[in-house]
């Protein structure tokens, strides 16, 4: 049975992925979660898994930039598969302070690649030799559609679309993708890469548009919409992303990149209006004292645009569909209703997240 190292498993997608692996994928081995616990990492996200799967789930607090830590974990737990989520993930933060993005997303990925190459005994690639040990080992790198840049009114990102990142975040992710691919081409490290569109769902940190708008609306606070609000994102329910990663990890071809998307292009302003409508169904505004007689949509506030804001993303995931039979299963309205219900059902999680390090960071750095 394989032991999987998940990096960044205490964050939004990583924690959903670990839950998916134990609860839905029928995995019988062990998952080791290596996470530095930055402001975005929260062990509470996996408290249920820690209880239910004692002995098969291990948490290690550590930094992926530290080669010794990573190599030590890989040796100790006889890791044969890595799913690499750990990253600084928020575009706005990368604009205010890019350094951590360069450190974790680039140097961290480099240190992981070096550890995998060393511990798995993969040397230099001989001319004409394919990926090494692809039946035995796998390094899956989780990346973003933002590496492709911005689209005009038509077209979609394909795996062959040239990279054109615009924010320090997307540039750092692009850089990490190139490194991962280079380790495949140069050393034959058995890798796969996925580039996914915007996720939403439970455990999403409330700095990102959807959870921020849900929680602000419930508290009667402004719902900030950047610029004209007509930017387009392609939304995917997080569990669908997890299912796609699992398929790629198990069945994807070594050396390949797979795009993942929700087939769900939405203008930001319509996402925010959708959140207002979903909240109105769950907690009608007239019963919510925080609104003081307002409607949820009265809270929508246009604010200064994000620097370098990409206009439109859309994903062509036909390769993943054709090769591995994956497609999204959750439609946006249903996924959003589930997400709203989750935030309403977990006030303790919300309180803890909002009162921690995040809040003090916001006070110091976030002047929007
Ligand atoms: P997140 O910010 O919620 O979680 C990141 C996790 O990584 C946190 O638990 C954090 O503590 C950990 N981490 C950060 N630096 C670390 C370090 N140096 N060492 C160890 N752990 C560290 O992010 P997310 O939204 O869950 O995104 C996960 C991955 O998926 C990222 O690589 C991101 O680029 C990618 N991605 C995200 C989305 C999205 O919509 N959220 C879409 C496509 C791809
Ligand atoms: O496309 C995939 C990417 O999606 C991931 O790689 C990133 O890790 C993830 O954070 C997400 O990036 P975005 O920048 O698209 O997500 P965010 O939720 O920050 O913003 C979504 C859109 O909404 C974007 O066009 C900016 C806009 N926005 C965002 C916030 C936080 C607003 O209009 N108001 C806001 O308050």
Report percent pLDDT > 90 for the chain: 90
How far apart are alpha carbons 192 and 177 in whole angstroms?
A: 10
Task: Decide: residue 3, CB within 10 A, 0-12 exposed, 13-18 middle, 19+ buried.
Answer: middle
Q: What is the largest CA-CA distance in the chain?
A: 71
Which of 85, 201, 358 for mutating ligand 1's site (highest number of atoms within 8 Å of CB)?
85
Give 202 Cα–ligand 1 centroid separation in angstroms: 15
CA angle 105, 106, 107 (to 5 degrees): 110
Q: Tell me the pairing of strands 232-237 and 265-267.
A: antiparallel
Residue 73 has a pLDDT of: 98
Map residue 183 onto helix, strand or coil.
helix
- Asked about 256 being catalytic, the answer comes back as no
Give 176 Cα–ligand 2 centroid separation in angstroms: 20
- Whether the CB of 233 sits within 6 Å of ligand 2: yes
- Whether the CB of 353 sits within 6 Å of ligand 2: no
Given a contact cutoff of 8 angstroms between Cβ atoms, the answer to whether 11 and 40 are in contact is: yes
Domain boundaries, the chain: 3-204+234-263+309-331
The tens-digit pLDDT sequence of the chain (368 residues) is 689 999 999 999 999 999 999 999 999 999 999 999 999 999 999 999 999 999 999 999 999 999 999 999 999 999 999 999 999 999 999 999 999 999 999 999 999 999 999 999 987 666 666 666 667 999 999 999 999 999 999 999 999 999 999 999 999 999 999 999 999 999 999 999 999 999 999 999 999 999 999 999 999 999 999 999 999 999 999 999 999 999 999 999 999 999 999 999 999 999 999 999 999 999 999 999 999 999 999 999 999 999 999 999 999 999 999 999 999 999 999 999 999 999 999 999 999 998 875 555 555 554 44
The residue with tokens 């689209």 is 151
Atom of ligand 1 nearest to the CA of 204: 3
- Whether the CB of 306 sits within 6 Å of ligand 2: yes
Give 182 Cα–ligand 2 centroid separation in angstroms: 29
How far apart are alpha carbons 286 and 52 in whole angstroms?
A: 40
Q: Which ligand is nearest to the CA of 305?
A: 2
Q: Choosing from 20, 39, 148, 169, which is the catalytic residue?
A: 169
Q: Which ligand is nearest to the CA of 94?
A: 2
**Structure-token pair, residue 296:** 């949820």
- Asked about 219 being catalytic, the answer comes back as no
Name the architecture of domain 3-204+234-263+309-331: 3-Layer(aba) Sandwich (3.40)
CA angle 270, 272, 274 (to 5 degrees): 65
How far apart are alpha carbons 148 and 164 in whole angstroms?
A: 5
- Asked about 169 being catalytic, the answer comes back as yes
Map residue 262 onto helix, strand or coil.
coil
How far apart are alpha carbons 356 and 270 in whole angstroms?
A: 31
Give 84 Cα–ligand 1 centroid separation in angstroms: 9
How far apart are alpha carbons 106 and 87 in whole angstroms?
A: 9
Atom of ligand 2 nearest to the CA of 173: 6
Query: What does the DSSP assignment read for 297-335?
Result: GGGEEEEPPPTT---B--B--HHHHHHH-----S-HHHH
Q: Which ligand is nearest to the CA of 11?
A: 1
Give 224 Cα–ligand 2 centroid separation in angstroms: 12
Which of 89, 209, 315 for mutating ligand 2's site (highest number of atoms within 8 Å of CB)?
209
Q: Choosing from 145, 207, 234, 239, which is the catalytic residue?
A: 145
């Amino acid at each position: 049975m394989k032991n999987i190292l998940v990096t960044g498993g205490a964050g939004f997608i990583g924690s959903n992925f670990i839950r998916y692996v134990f609860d839905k994928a029928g995995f019988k081995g062990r998952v080791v979660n290596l996470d530095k616990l930055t402001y975005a990492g929260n062990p509470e996200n996996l408290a249920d898994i820690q209880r239910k799967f004692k002995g098969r789930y291990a948490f290690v607090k550590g930094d992926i930039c530290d080669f010794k830590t990573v190599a030590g974990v890989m040796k100790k737990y006889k890791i044969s598969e890595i799913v690499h989520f750990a990253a600084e993930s928020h575009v706005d933060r990368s604009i205010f302070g890019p350094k951590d993005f360069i450190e974790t997303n680039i140097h961290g990925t480099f240190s992981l690649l070096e550890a995998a190459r060393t511990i798995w005994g993969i040397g230099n690639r001989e001319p004409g030799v394919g990926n090494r040990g692809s039946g035995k080992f796998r390094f899956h790198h989780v990346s973003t559609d933002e590496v492709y840049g911005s689209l005009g009114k038509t077209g979609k990102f394909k795996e062959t679309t040239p990279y054109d990142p615009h924010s320090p975040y997307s540039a750092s992710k692009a850089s990490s993708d190139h490194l991962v691919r280079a380790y495949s081409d140069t050393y034959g490290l058995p890798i796969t890469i996925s580039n996914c569109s915007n996720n939403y769902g439970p455990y999403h940190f409330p700095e990102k548009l959807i959870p921020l708008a849900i929680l602000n609306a419930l508290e009667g606070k402004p719902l900030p919409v950047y610029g004209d609000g007509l930017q387009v994102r392609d939304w995917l329910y997080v569990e669908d992303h997890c299912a796609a990663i699992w398929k790629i990890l198990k069945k994807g071809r070594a050396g390949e990149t797979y795009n993942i998307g929700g087939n769900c292009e939405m203008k930001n302003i319509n996402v925010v209006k959708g959140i207002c409508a979903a909240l109105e169904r769950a907690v009608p505004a007239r019963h919510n004292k925080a609104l003081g007689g307002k409607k949820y949509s009265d809270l929508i506030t246009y604010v200064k645009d994000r620097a370098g804001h990409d206009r439109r993303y859309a994903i062509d995931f036909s390769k993943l569909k054709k090769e591995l039979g994956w497609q999204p299963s959750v439609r946006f309205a249903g996924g959003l209703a589930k997400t709203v219900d989750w935030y309403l059902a977990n006030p303790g999680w919300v309180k803890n997240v909002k009162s921690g390090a995040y809040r003090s960071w916001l006070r110091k750095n976030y002047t929007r």
